[in-house]
Amino acid sequence: MNAVPAASLLRTIENRLSAAGVPSPAADARLIVAHACGLPGSRVALLTEIPESDLQEIDRLTVRREARVPLQHLTGQASFLNLDLNVGPGVFTPRPETEVLVDWLIGVLPSNDGPSVAVDLCAGSGAIGLALAANVADCSVLAVERSPQACSYAQQNYERHAELIRANGSAYSLLEADVTRPAWLAALDRPADVVVSNPPYIPAGAIPRDPEVRDHDPAIALYGGPDGLELIRSLVPLAECALRPGGLLAIEHADDQGEQAREAGVPELLRQRGFVDVVDHHDLAGRPRFTTAVVGETSDPAPGGC
C-alpha cells in the first residue's frame, strides 16, 4: 500500500465512526490520525498525504473507536483546562462540565488574602485539584481518592505538572482514603478555604446510554446509591468540618439534582444543613451542574462533632 490522500482517509474514518454512532466523528477522526502520526491535532488539517507506515495503526485505532472505546483511552490523554492528563481504564475521564466548575473556582479563589487551602474530594485523575494548584497562586491542595487505580493516575499527573505547580507557589498532596470517613481530616494542617467535589452522582438504576461512559468509566466513579445523592450526603458534614468559617463548598451534580429538584436537590440539601449563599450554577449547555455554598453560623457539623 502507498501513502494515501489525507482528506479522503479522514472522510473514510469519519464515515466509519459516524456509522458506529460516535457522537463527534470528524473531530475523533482527526485526533486518531494525529495520534497515529505523532502530530498535534491542529497539524492534521495541513497534511496532504498519510504515510503508508501509519495506516495500520490508524485502522487499529479506528476499529477500537468504532467499538466505542473512549478516544481518551486510545490516546491515553485527556485535556482539562490548561493541563494534559494521563487517563485510561480504571479512572474517570474528566469532563468539560467540570471545567466550568473549576474555572469558576479559579475566578473566586484569588480574592482570598494570602495562601489558600483547597480540598478535592473524589479526585479521580486529579483533574480538579491539579488545575487549582496550577492556576491559583499559593494554593495548597489536598486531594482524596479511594480507588488505588485512580490514585495511580493522579500521582502520575501530579508528577507531570509538579514543576508548574511549584512555579505557581502552590502545592499538591494526594491521599488514598474514603471521603465518607473522617480520617482524611487529619491530613489538613489548617482549615480549608474551599472544598470541591465531583462525586459519583448517577442513581444506581440509571445506567448511562453512552457505551464510553457505561462500559469504560469505573462504576465507583459513576453511581451514588439509589437516588444518586448517597455519597454527597455522607461527604457534606465532613466537608463542613474541614472548612473555615465562611469557607466555600462546591459540588458537581446531575442536571436533575439542582434547584428544580427541591428537597431532592443538592442546593436544598445544603440549605437544610445550614449553609448560606447557596447558588446553583449551569454548565455550558445551560443545564444545572454544580452548587456552591458558604459555611453558615448555624451549620450543624458531623454527628459527634468533627
Ligand X SMILES: C[S@@+](CC[C@H](N)C(=O)[O-])C[C@H]1O[C@@H](n2cnc3c(N)ncnc32)[C@H](O)[C@@H]1O
Which string of b and e fits 238-265 if b means at least 16 CB within 10 Å? bbbbbbeeebbbbbbbbeebbeebeeeb
Stretch that binds ligand X, among 46-54, 175-183, 206-214, 288-296 (CB under 6 A): 175-183
Paired with 250 in beta bridges are: 196, 292
**Rounded to 10 degrees, what is the CA torsion of 61, 66, 71, 74?**
-30
The nearest distance, CB 177 to ligand X, in angstroms, is 7
How many residues touch ligand X (CB under 6 A)? 23
Q: Does 150 bind ligand X (CB under 6 A)?
A: yes
Site map for ligand X, 94-133, x if CB under 6 A? Answer: x---x-----------------------xxxx-xx-----
Site string for ligand X, 43-82 (x = CB under 6 A): ----------------------------------------
Q: Where are the alpha helices (DSSP H) in the chain?
A: 6-19, 25-37, 52-66, 71-75, 96-108, 127-135, 148-167, 211-214, 219-222, 230-242, 266-272
User: Does 281 sit near ligand X (CB under 6 A)?
Assistant: no
Give the three cell numbers for residue 108. 473566586
CA torsion angle for 24, 27, 29, 35 (degrees, to 10)? -130
Structural contact between residues 121 and 196, judged by C-beta atoms closer than 8 angstroms: yes
Per DSSP (E only), the strands in 161-287 are 171-176, 192-197, 243-252, 276-282
Closer Cβ to ligand X, 254 or 293, answer by number: 254
Task: Determine the interface stretch with ligand X among 2-10, 40-48, 138-146, 161-169 (rule: CB under 6 A).
Answer: 138-146
Q: Are the C-beta atoms of 121 and 197 separated by less than 8 Å?
A: yes
Does 92 interact with ligand X (rule: CB under 6 A)?
A: yes
> CB of residue 169 vs ligand X: minimum separation in angstroms?
23
87 binds ligand X (CB under 6 A): no
- Least distance from C-beta 281 to ligand X, angstroms? 15
CB of 59 to ligand X, least distance (A): 31
- Single out the residue of 140, 157, 170, 198 in contact with ligand X (rule: CB under 6 A): 198
Q: How far is the CB of 2 from ligand X (least distance, A)?
A: 43
32: cell is 486518531
**Shortest distance, position 141 Cβ to ligand X, whole Å:** 12
Amino acid identity, residue 13?
A: I
Contact pick of 180, 204, 246, 301 for ligand X (by CB under 6 A): 180
Task: Report DSSP letters for 140-159, one per residue.
Answer: EEEEEE--HHHHHHHHHHHH
- Residue 104 near residue 281 (C-beta atoms within 8 A): yes
The single residue among 179, 232, 270, 295 that binds ligand X, judged by CB under 6 A, is 179
Q: What is the binding site for ligand X (CB under 6 A)?
A: 92, 94, 98, 122-125, 127-128, 144-147, 150, 178-180, 198-200, 220-221, 231
